[in-house]
Amino acid sequence: MASTVPAAPTRPRTLVVASAFGTGSVVMYFGCLFALYFSIRHDAMAWGAQWYPEGAIQLVPGGMNMSTMAMSAITMGWAVHAVLNDDRIHAMIAMALTAVLGIAMVNQTVFYFKDIGLPIDASEAATLLFTIVGSHMVMVAIGVLWLGLLLLRALGGQDTSRHRDLVSAAALYWYASVAVYSVIWIGIYIAK
Amino acid sequence: MTTTDNAAASDSAPTALEQAVTTTDPVALARVWGFGGMTSILLGAVAGLLVGLERLDLASADVFGSADEVFQFWSAHRVAFVLLGVLPALMALATTVVPRQCGGSLVFPRAAAMACWTWLVGAGMTVAGFLVDGGLGTPGGGGQREATALTMMGLLLAIGGLLLASVCVMTTIVSGRAAGTGLRDLPYTAWTTLVGATVWTGMLGVLAANAVLAYVDLRGRPAVRFGAEDAIWEQLSWMFTHPAIYVLALPVLGIALDLVSSATRTEQANRDVLLVATAAFGFLSFGAFAQTFFDTPGTPVAEEAISVVAAFAIVPVALAIVGGLADTLRRGAGNLGSKPPAEAVCSVLAAVLVLAATAVGAVRVIAPLELLDTSVTGAHFALVLGAVVLGVGAGFHHWGEELVGPKGRRPGLFLLGGLAVAGGTVLVGVADLVSGLLDQADFTGVDLATAGNPDSGVDGLNLVSLVGSLALLGGLAIWMLTGSLHTAANRKGAA
């Protein structure tokens, strides 16, 4: 007797939708800080005032962090691809690597904050710098915690192509954190 | 059964507190949102009444000790209404009624529970911060810095809770609605909640950024700029004025459209026009750009074309929505009977007040009149928030059976409270509007210079405004009584 196997119901991508809304709000948060930063900086420059003291902002730490975040975007994409293909081992390796790169980024930022020689209350520029970069560090730290949770799920065999939403949702958030850092890198570290 | 079995059974039974804190039942959580929100609105109304009393004599501090204390209560009134009152009250409906309208259930119930308790803790911290001489800064720098920091932290937690709950609600509508139900098929309450939540999720993120920046600058050292006592409120004030406060009115317009349709048993005509109009209303409510504190040299942002055009453009949009409501009332008038439902009456009044508020908002931005810093801003706030409170109350009454239970509803008492709220709102709005036209400042302080050195006629108008505040407070008290009696009747029935 021929039997027809019913098609698996299409799961609404609830987690991805929720992640998109949450990430959107986070992006608005950084959008506000960037708008304030560039607006105040523009005014200061227009008046001929010094924004940062000469040599206060080094290009190397920002560049290193940008490279780290760019690599993490690739490993995150690898994780999504591996989960889609039910490749559990590669998914775990990719997520672990992404988390390690995130931790490295947080570590580099903390080191730079200690080394910068620019007190947080030195000027409006310094307060904004610490607020923006510090907020991004928190964003990355939350992403690392999320990835830790995903790793635990992957160890339990739950991250499969049928249950890939949590990985896709985390990836969306992670890509947003990389995008936010690119603005920090170009707008703060390079343009100073 | 042994004694040991009994002990084990009693140990495992959760206490009432454990049940309350660990529940993920949206109805139980909606009661926390609703009761907490309405209590905050009541507290905000008390703060507004005290400020109104102080305003009776503009030349000295009679009720409070100083201008800084007046400012703390004046700002507490606005914060209590918007972030601690109306938004959570809307969230009570959004987490219970909206999922049902979408044919599903609230997604992420545990996240929604966390959002509710986070908001409640944040709201408690914010209120405590205001009460211990903190608040959101003071013009004279007379507040306690630690208490101000506590208020900011509380505000951030409240924002976080509201954001998380909004994400749950929006995801429910977008992804959790019944199969085959398109966004165009949604009832108006669900649709306007989706649009409104999308806009306020963006704005709350921006408000959080402002608050974090001020908090970072406030803590531990002399503030550079953002955390200075006299600067904090102005950075956050955009959330409590045009155009941002309109977003609170959007779900109320949706509630009015649904309630009138239900009362008249008549479908709204031109459904797509109303959907577009409500979406446009939401779009025009986005106010995160209007941050006056960061004005650059040149035209202030409140006088920029984008602000002025938004203020005028929202009037015809509101008119279109209220016109749709009126059309449904006209076509279904025969089904209303001699006693139309109390909630339908209140929701129609709320929609009319929203329309009136948009007209006042448009008058406010006419540059030659120079009304931006006058009490026209206060009148605008009072009209919008009064309308929202009225509409939310109507929603609570209409869907009260789902939230509390079927017994003990008192439509007469509810209508009395609603009329008091509407009447009080109109009195405050009209009196403050005229006072503003006579140059009375929005924040009057306790000396004539800060008050705008107004003409003598303002004293009488301030008395009218005070009577309006009393009526508003009375109406809210009646509603709280109605809600308590409703709850008590159902508890007794359940017992």
To the nearest whole Å, the CA of B168 is away from the closest chain A CA by 7
Q: Which residues of A touch B108 (CB under 8 A)?
A: 14, 18
Rounded Cα–Cα distance for residues A75 and B343 (Å): 55
Distance CA B143, CA A115 (A): 35
Instruction: Give chain B's radius of gyration (CA, Å).
Output: 23
How many other CB atoms are found less than 10 A from the CB of residue A69?
Answer: 24
* Average model confidence (pLDDT) across chain B: 93
- Residue B182 contacts A, CB cutoff 8 Å: no
Q: Is the pLDDT score of A8 beyond 60?
A: no
- State how far the Cα of B302 lies from the Cα of B258, in Å rounded to an integer: 34
Contact A13 B175 (CB under 8 A): yes
Closest residue on chain B to A37 (Cα): B294
pLDDT, mean of residues A4-16: 65
- Positions of E strands within B358-474: none
Which CATH superfamily hosts domain A57-190?
Cytochrome c oxidase, subunit III, four-helix bundle (1.20.120.80)
Q: Name the minimum distance, in Å, from the CA of B21 to any CA of chain A.
A: 24
Domain B23-240 has CATH 1.20.210.10: yes
Task: Decide: residue A3, CB within 10 A, 0-12 exposed, 13-18 middle, 19+ buried.
Answer: exposed
> How many Å apart are CA B466 and CA B473, to the nearest integer?
10
Cβ-contact A117, A53 below 8 angstroms = no
Q: How far is B359 from chain A (nearest CA, A)?
A: 29
H helix or E strand, kind and range, residue B450: none
Tens-level pLDDT at each residue, chain B (495 residues): 444 445 554 556 788 788 778 899 999 999 999 999 999 999 999 999 999 999 998 888 889 989 999 999 999 999 999 999 999 999 999 999 999 999 989 999 999 999 999 999 999 999 999 999 999 999 988 889 999 999 999 999 999 999 999 999 999 999 999 888 899 999 999 999 999 999 999 999 999 999 999 999 998 788 999 999 999 999 999 999 989 999 999 999 999 999 999 999 999 999 999 999 999 999 999 999 999 999 887 888 989 999 999 999 999 999 999 999 999 999 999 998 888 999 999 999 999 999 999 999 999 999 999 999 999 999 999 999 999 999 999 999 999 998 888 888 899 999 999 999 999 999 999 999 999 999 999 999 888 888 987 766 899 999 999 999 999 999 999 999 999 999 999 987 676
Rounded Cα distance, B92 and B90, in Å: 5
Distances (CA, A) of B228 to B83, B141, B235: 22, 8, 11
Q: Which residues of B touch A120 (CB under 8 A)?
A: 216, 221
Would you list the domain boundaries of chain A? Answer: 57-190
Query: SS3 for B56?
Result: coil
Taking CB atoms and an 8 Å limit, are B167 and A130 in contact across chains?
A: no
Closest CA to B45 of B83, B87, B78, B88: B78
CATH 1.20.210.10 domain range(s) in chain B: 23-240, 248-287+300-495
- Residue B70 · residue B54 · CB < 8 Å: yes
pTM beyond cutoff 0.90: yes
Q: Is A105 helix (H, G, I), strand (E, B) or coil?
A: helix
Residue pair B479/B417 in contact (Cβ under 8 Å)? The answer is yes
ipTM: 0.93
* Partners of residue B201 in chain A, C-beta under 8 Å: 21, 24-25, 28
CB pairs under 8 A between A and B: 94
Where are the alpha helices (H) located in chain A, listed in sequence order?
14-46, 59-84, 88-115, 124-155, 165-184
A 125-184 residues with CB < 8 A to B = 126-128, 130-131, 134-135
Please give the angle made by the CA atoms of B95, B101 and B102, to the nearest 5 degrees: 90
Print the SS3 string covering B96-116: HHHHHHCCCCCCCHHHHHHHH
Mean pLDDT computed over A96-105: 97
Give the rounded distance of the alpha carbon of B13 from its chain centre.
38
Pairwise CB contact (< 8 Å): A121 & B224: yes
* C-alpha neighbours within 13 Å on the C-beta side of residue B405: 16
pLDDT at A3 > cutoff 60: no
Does residue B378 sit in helix, strand or coil? helix
Residue of chain B nearest A41, judged by CA positions: B296
**Cβ partners under 8 Å of residue B17, min gap 6:** none
What are the residue ranges of helices labelled H in B286-399? 305-331, 333-336, 342-364, 375-398
Query: What one-character DSSP code corresponds to residue B438?
Result: T
Amino acid at A131: T
Phi, psi (deg, nearest 5) at residue B30: -65, -35
Q: How far is A97 from chain B (nearest CA, A)?
A: 28
Q: Kindly state the helix (H) or strand (E) to which residue B464 belongs, with its residue range.
A: helix B457-494
- Give me the CATH code for the B248-287+300-495 domain, please: 1.20.210.10
Tens digit of pLDDT for each residue in A152-179?
Answer: 988 887 766 767 888 999 999 999 999 9
Contacts of A32 in chain B (CB under 8 A): 205-206, 209-210, 288
- Euclidean distance between the first and final Cα of chain A, in Å? 73
Q: Is B204 on the interface with A (CB under 8 A)?
A: yes
- Residue B32 CA: distances (Å) to CA of B25, B29, B39, B482: 11, 5, 10, 17
Q: Count Cα neighbours of B83 within 13 Å in the Cβ-side half-sphere.
A: 35
Among A18, A30, A120, the residue with its CB nearest the CB of B171 is A18
Residue B495: per-residue pLDDT: 66
Indicate whether A2 pLDDT > 70.
no
What's the confidence (pLDDT) of residue B15? 81
Q: What's the whole-number average pLDDT of chain A?
A: 91
Place A7 in a pLDDT band, splitting at 50, 70 and 90: low
